[in-house]
Structure 1
C-alpha cells in the first residue's frame, strides 16, 4: 500500500460487492428455508420408518446441515467485506485530511509520504533560517507521522481482507464450508473473536458524557461524519451529544428502511416482526402527518427511535440545538408508541405528541425576537400499565412500583444533559423537565441524579409536575433545584389523591396518619411539599381519567398550559399561583 494508491482509491466497488453477497445470501437463505419446509419437515413428519427410511432421512439431514452451513458462510462474507471497506475509507479520510493540512501549512508531500518545507528567504540571516527550520520541522514530522499511520491502517486492512478472502476460498474449494461446526466457529470468530475494527477506535464509550460525544463528532471531517451516518447509523442516531439534525436524518432513515423491509415480507408477519411494526409504524405515521399539515407547526426532529422494551421514541417540535427555551416532557402510565402517533384533532390530552406540540405552540407564542422554543416528548422508558393490572412481569405491578421510573431516570438525565451539550445558541439554554402522572416520578428521580455532588449529568433549570402521585421525596428542595419546582393538580384528578400504603391501611381503621402523603411520597401540591402550585381547571374532563390528561391541552386544562409555558419561557411573574392543599 502506498500513498497514491490510498489517495486515489474508489471503494464503491467493494461496497457494491458486499451488497451483492448480501443479496446472494438472502436468496440462498430463502432456498434453505424452502428445502427445510418442503423436504426436511415433510420427510421427518411423514411417519416413514424402516432401514430405507433411516438411510434417506440421514441423507436429508446431512443436506440440511450443509445448506445451513453454506448459508452461515455466505452471510459472513458481505459483512466482512463492508468492514474492510469501512477501514479503507476511514484510512483514506485521514490521509486526505493530512494532505489538506500540509497544503494549508505550505508543506510539500512527496510520493513516499515524506514531508518537506521550502527554504527560507535568501535575504534572511543564518539565525533567521535556523528559526524557520526549527518552526517547520515539528509540523512536517507530525504530518509525516499522520500520513504514515493512515497508510499503515490501510495496509493492515488490506492484509486482513486478503487473509479473509483466502479463508473463504479454501472453505469453498475444500468443502469445509459445508460443515456446520466449521461454519458456526467462523460465525463466532466474526462476531466475537476479532479485534476492535479500526472504524470503532475513536468512538466514545458508553460512559462518555454528551459533551465528550459532541467533541468527538465535531472533530470528525465532513467525510468521516457522512461515513458514520451511512455505514454505522446505529452508533449515532440515539446518542446524546450528537446534533439534533443528524439524529433526525439517521433515525428517519432507519425507520423508513425497517418499515419498507417489513412491507416486503410475506403476510402475516411473524410475531417478532409484527411487534417491530407495532412499535415503529405509529411514529412514522406521526412524522408523515406533521410533514403534510400546514398550520404553522415546526419540523419534527426524531431524536430517539427503537424497539427496545415497549418501544422507544423522542420527538422534538422545533430544533433543540437552536432553541433558547427547551421543554422535555415525560408522559406516564399506559403511554406507548401509539400514544405518540397521529393526533390531529385530538383535544383531550390522550395523545402525548399532541401535548408536546401544544406546549411548543403556547411557548413559541410567548417568545420575543431572538428567542425560540423547542418542545420534546420523551418515551425512553417503559411506562407502566394501569394501577392494579400486572404486566408481563409478575413481580412488577405497574404503576404501584417505582421500578420503571428508577430504571428510566438515568437515560432521561443523560438526555437532558445532551440538550445542553449540543445547543448552539451561544448561551446556556433554559431547560424545563415536565413529568405527568407516573412520568413525574421519573423526572423527580432523574433530577435527583443530576443534582448530586459530582454527578455526570446537567440538571434542568425548572421542574414541572402535573397530575403527580408523588416524586419520591417529601419536599421540593430534595430535588436540588430550590425555588424552581412547580406543580399543577386538579381537584377532580383522582391520581393526585392516591394514598400512601400507610394511609390505605390506617383508613380501614377509621383514621389517616398523614392526609397529604401520597403513594410515592408527599403530595407535590401540598403546602408541606413546598413547590409553587399553579392554577388549573378543577372541573373539566370526563370519565375516570379524563381529568387526569387535560393539563397540556389548550382548553380543558384552563390556565394550566399557559402557566406551564410561562415557566418554560422564564416568565415566572406571569404564572398564576394558588395555595397548596
Structure 2
C-alpha cells in the first residue's frame, strides 16, 4: 500500500460492507428460526405420519444451510470490522502526521516524503537550505547518530547528523516522514494479512452443507480469530473466573459489533458462560454442536478407510513359537476400535440433541435451547424446553449414574415429559431443563458409592443455578425446582452442603441418600423438600444405607425421620418416575406430582405414607435388582 492509497482510504466502507454481511447473516438466522420454530413446529403440531417426517427432514437440511450461512457471514463481518479497525488505526496515524507537517509548513509528497524549508543559523553567511526526506518504517533505535534506524552506512549517518545541526527543520521533518512510513507499513501489513483470510471465507457452489463445509467453517473461525487479535484485544475481556452476575454485566457492556465478534470467534467459550441470555448461549452451542458433529463424522469416515489388521498369529510366551491355528486381536485394531466406539457414542448423543430440536411443535412442545454442550470426556448436554429467561417456573432435572452425552436421549426425554406435564397446570411460563453438566458415575459399582462425583459437580451446578437467576426476567423471583434422580440426589445434597443450591423446591426420586440427615439441612424452606419412592425401587436406597459413611451417605429421604414430603407414586422400579402415556397424552401420577411442585401448586400434590418393610434384594449387586 502506498501513501496516496492510504490517504484516500475510507475504513468506513469496510464497516459498511460488514454491516451488509451482518444483515445477510441476520436474515439467514431469522429464516432458520422461522423454519424450526414456525414451519416445522406447525407441521408437527397438527400433522403426523411418514410424509410429515420426510418434509421435516428436508426442511431441517434447509435450516442447516441457513445456519451455515449465518456462521460464515458472522465470520466475514468480524473479519471486515477487524480490517477496518486496523486500517483506521494506520489512517489516523497518517492523518495526524500530515496535520503536523502542515502546521510546520512542511509539504508531504505523493510518495510520502516530507519537504522542509531552509532554517537555522547562518553558516558561512548562508541560512542552511531546506530539503526532502523519506521516512523509514523501522522504529527508533535510540542511537543519537541514527534515531530513525534507517541509515545504510556510517557516512549517511554522519551526513544526517550534520543536517540536524545546520537545519532544525530536518529533525522534525524526518520524524514526521518516519511516522508516515510507519503508518503505510502498518496498513500494508493489515492488507496483506486480511486479503488471504477473506478469500478463504467462501462456500462450495452447491446447495448441500456437508460435514466438510462445517469443518471448513471451524478452520475459518480459527484463522479469523488469530488474525483479529488486535481487534479482540481492544474489546473488554471477561474476568477469567467471573461469576454469572459478572458475566451478565460484561456482556451488556459490549456493543452489538463486539458481541457478534466474540460470539463468532469463541462460541465454545460463550456457550458455557452462566448468566448470559439463553438465546445467546443456544446460538453459540448450536454452532459448536454442528462443527463437532461434522468433525467426528469425518474422523469416523477416516477410521473406516484405515482399519488396521484385526488378527495376528498368536505366539507361545514360553517357547516363543507360533500356536497352531490360533490368532489374537492386534493392539492396533483394539486402539482403532476404541476410538471408533468413542466417536460413535458421542455422535449418538448429538443425534439425541438434534432429535429434540426436530420435535419442536410436536404436541405443542416449545423451542429447545442448548445451554451447554461438549464432547470432551463423557460429554455435556444441557437442554432446556422453553426459554428459562422468560419462565416463571423453572425445573432443573439432574440424572444420576451413567448420565453422559452418549446416554442423553432418555434424560432429555424426561425433561420433555416434565414440560408436557407441568405446562398445562398453569397459565404462567414454564421451562424444564435436563442438566447433564457434570461427570456422573459411569457404573453403579464401585463408582456410585463414591462422593467424588458429587463433590466435583457442586461448582458447576451452583454456577448454573445462579446463572438462571441472573438471566431470568424476574431475577431471583423466578420459582426454581431442583429435580434429581438416583445419584443426582447426592449431587443436590453436596451442593446444599456448600451453600450452592439456590432453588425453592427439591424433588428426589429413587435416592440412595442426599448427604444430609434431615430435609432442613438442604437450605430450602420447611415443607419444600419432596420425595418419591416407587414400588420395587429398594436396591438404591438400601445400597445407600450399606455404604453410609463411605461416600453416598445421609438418611434415606424416604425415612420419616428425614422430614421430606412423601409423594404418591404409581410407577415401578428405579427408572419409571417420568413415565408418560403418549397415546393418551397422560402423565403417570409419579410425574404429575412433580408437575404440581414445578408450578408451585402444592395443594394438588397427592401424598402417601412411607411404605415400610422393604428389604435389600439378595442379588443387589446385579443390574436387574436396580430396575435399570
Please confirm whether the aligned pair reaches a TM-score higher than 0.5, indicating the same fold. yes
Q: CA RMSD in A?
A: 4.1
**Unaligned stretches of 5+ in structure 2?**
1-5, 22-74, 90-94, 98-181, 194-222, 305-335, 613-628
Aligned ranges for residues 125-136 of structure 1 at < 5 Å? none
Q: By how many angstroms is 1:521 displaced?
A: 1.2
CA distance in 2, matches of 1:358, 1:208: 34
CA distance in 2, matches of 1:205, 1:400: 37
Do structure 1's residue 355 and structure 2's residue 381 form an aligned pair?
Answer: no
Deviations 1:456-478 (A, max 9, x none): x5601111111000011111111
Describe the SS at the equivalent of 2:388. Answer: coil
Structure-1 residue corresponding to 2:71: none
Q: 1:376 to 1:502 in 2, by over 3 A?
A: closer
Aligned ranges for residues 13-412 of structure 1 at < 5 Å? 85=79, 88=82, 91=85, 159=186, 162=189, 199=232, 202-265=236-299, 266-268=301-303, 275-288=342-355, 290-292=357-359, 294-341=362-409, 351-368=410-427, 371-388=428-445, 397-412=446-461
- Give yes or no for contact 2:421–2:592 (8 Å, CA) kept in 1: yes
Number of residue pairs the alignment of both structures matches = 391
Which of 591, 607, 610 in structure 2 is aligned with 1:577? 607
CA distance in 1, matches of 2:277, 2:238: 15
- Give yes or no for contact 2:516–2:522 (8 Å, CA) kept in 1: yes
CA distance in 2, matches of 1:486, 1:92: 59
Describe the SS at the equivalent of 2:432. Answer: strand
- Give yes or no for contact 1:467–1:496 (8 Å, CA) kept in 2: yes
CA distance in 1, matches of 2:373, 2:506: 25
Do structure 1's residue 500 and structure 2's residue 539 form an aligned pair?
Answer: no
Q: By how many angstroms is 1:260 displaced?
A: 2.3
Do structure 1's residue 9 and structure 2's residue 14 form an aligned pair?
Answer: yes
CA distance in 1, matches of 2:484, 2:273: 22
Deviations 1:118-158 (A, max 9, x none): xxxxxxxxxxxxxxxxxxxxxxxxxxxxxxxxxxxxx9998
- Give yes or no for contact 2:518–2:561 (8 Å, CA) kept in 1: yes
Describe the SS at the equivalent of 1:387. Answer: coil
Deviations 1:93-138 (A, max 9, x none): 999xxxxxxxxxxxxxxx879xxxxxxxxxxxxxxxxxxxxxxxxx
- Give yes or no for contact 2:15–2:81 (8 Å, CA) kept in 1: no
- Give yes or no for contact 2:282–2:369 (8 Å, CA) kept in 1: yes
CA distance in 2, matches of 1:156, 1:527: 78
Q: By how many angstroms is 1:278 displaced?
A: 2.6
Q: 1:295 to 1:372 in 2, by over 3 A?
A: same
Q: 1:366 to 1:557 in 2, by over 3 A?
A: closer
Q: By how many angstroms is 1:163 displaced?
A: 9.8
Q: Give the structure-2-normalised TM-score.
A: 0.55
Q: Which has the larger radius of gyration?
A: 2
Deviations 1:356-385 (A, max 9, x none): 1110011101112xx111010011112213
Structure-2 residue corresponding to 1:437: 486
Deviations 1:53-79 (A, max 9, x none): xxxxxxxxxxxxxxxxxxxxxxxxxxx
CA distance in 2, matches of 1:264, 1:386: 30
Q: Give the structure-1-normalised TM-score.
A: 0.59
Q: By how many angstroms is 1:263 displaced?
A: 3.3
Describe the SS at the equivalent of 1:498. Answer: helix
Structure-1 residue corresponding to 2:513: 470
- Give yes or no for contact 1:329–1:434 (8 Å, CA) kept in 2: yes
Q: 1:238 to 1:490 in 2, by over 3 A?
A: same
Q: 1:338 to 1:223 in 2, by over 3 A?
A: same
